[in-house]
Amino acid sequence: MKITTFNMCPSLMDEGYDSFSPKARKELFDGAKVSPFTDIPYSASDFVGNVKHVSISGMQEKMFAVVDKNKLRLTYDGEQSRYIIKPSPKSIALDNAEYMPINEHLTMQIARQVYGINTAHNALIVMGDGRPAYIVRRFDVAPDGTKYRQEDFASILGRTAGNGSSYKYEGSYLEIGRAIREIVPTWRFELQKFFSIVIFNYLFANGDAHLKNFSLCTNPNGVFALSPAYDLLNTSIHLNDSEFALSGGHGTNVCGKHPTSEDFALFGSELGLTQKQIDKTLELFTQKQPLVETLCSRSLLSKKCKRMYMRSYGERLARLHKK
């Protein structure tokens, strides 16, 4: 797949733009007129991984970049990066690997535009070989270069490689929620956001939402809060993945073969959310959202991948309604 032009805004998928929209430029580049077309070189290498429990994020090479004279370039040694670039990987363990950057961009935009989830600012760019790559602005670096403290939940829960190669998949989302209650002063507000992200990951078949893909980050006042959502993508397009990335699922141990909205309601109750918070969140996620199909149709996914994306969304939406 080679892209020579965009027919939508690479970050927000607004119609009528062949470059970054003004809103995208503001969010990503503080208003600078940065082109999505770069001369950054990239040559993907073959990856042979353990297909029993593949870490999608572990297969994606990450490149670090800054804006220099309104142009994206890779960082020099010792230079503070402001952006992370993820080109499409080359892997025998993944299907449709060339569409992973587009998948992640689409899923991140659906999370934000349809469900109001706070996400890291992101876009699509074009690498030097004409292929698309996903770019995200680092939320742990302030505009003045100040580095905020960030801790992922593998670290917070004391899970390390010493616990085994699958350490970041061991645990449950309820464990994460309980840690948020203990650490974050505004835990009631942050837990509702966390609840939404967990349901979103299920609804959009993100089977790689492991412990390192959730984190806390300090704000300018030095207080921990839930980080903006990141690494959201529909992994079912690329491999036969589990419904929950974590071995303990959401942690209530009551769901059958497939979780329903009642299972998630119990999960929300275990987190400590009020019934009003639970009902409001589930109402949003159990309704069919036409904008999902609109954004998917505008994306640069192949026709086959678009069908797969919408089919998995429809199947999981139907499961939430089952008793």
Has residue 104 been placed in a domain? yes
Whether residue 309 is found in the same domain as residue 163: yes
Has residue 227 been placed in a domain? yes
- DSSP-derived letter for residue 37 is B
Mean pLDDT (whole number) for 313-318: 97
Question: What does the longest C-alpha to C-alpha distance in the chain come to?
Answer: 57
Structural domain of 306: 150-321
Whether residue 133 is found in the same domain as residue 193: no
Show which of 111, 137, 163 is a domain's final residue: 137
Has residue 164 been placed in a domain? yes
Most confident of 8-17, 139-148, 158-167, 198-207: 198-207
For 69-85, how does the pLDDT look when each residue is reduced to its tens digit (9 = 90+)? 999 999 999 999 999 99
Report whether 93 contacts 79 (CB < 8 A). no
Show which of 137, 168, 187 is a domain's final residue: 137
Domain with 284 in it: what CATH number?
Answer: 1.10.1070.20
d(CA 196, CA 185): 19
Whether residue 111 is found in the same domain as residue 161: no
- Domain count within the chain: 2
pLDDT band at 47; cut points 50, 70, 90: very low
SS (H, E, C) 138-182: CCCECCCCCECCEEEHHHHCCCCHHHCCCHHHCCCHHHHHHHHHH
Whether residue 108 is found in the same domain as residue 248: no
Whether residue 91 is found in the same domain as residue 169: no
Has residue 17 been placed in a domain? no
Report whether 20 contacts 10 (CB < 8 A). yes
Name the pairing type of β-strands 63-67 and 72-74.
Answer: antiparallel
Report whether 219 contacts 140 (CB < 8 A). no
> Exposure of 61 by Cβ count < 10 A (0-12 exposed, 13-18 middle, 19+ buried)?
middle
Whether residue 35 is found in the same domain as residue 121: yes
Has residue 36 been placed in a domain? yes
Show which of 137, 165, 192 is a domain's final residue: 137
Has residue 4 been placed in a domain? no
Q: At 320, is the secondary structure helix, strand, or coil?
A: helix
Has residue 305 been placed in a domain? yes
Has residue 13 been placed in a domain? no
Residue 40 in tokens = 């950054």
Evaluate if residue 50 carries a pLDDT over 90.
no
Helix, strand and coil percent figures for the chain, each rounded to 5? 40, 15, 50
What's the mean pLDDT when you consider all of the chain?
87
Report whether 248 contacts 184 (CB < 8 A). no
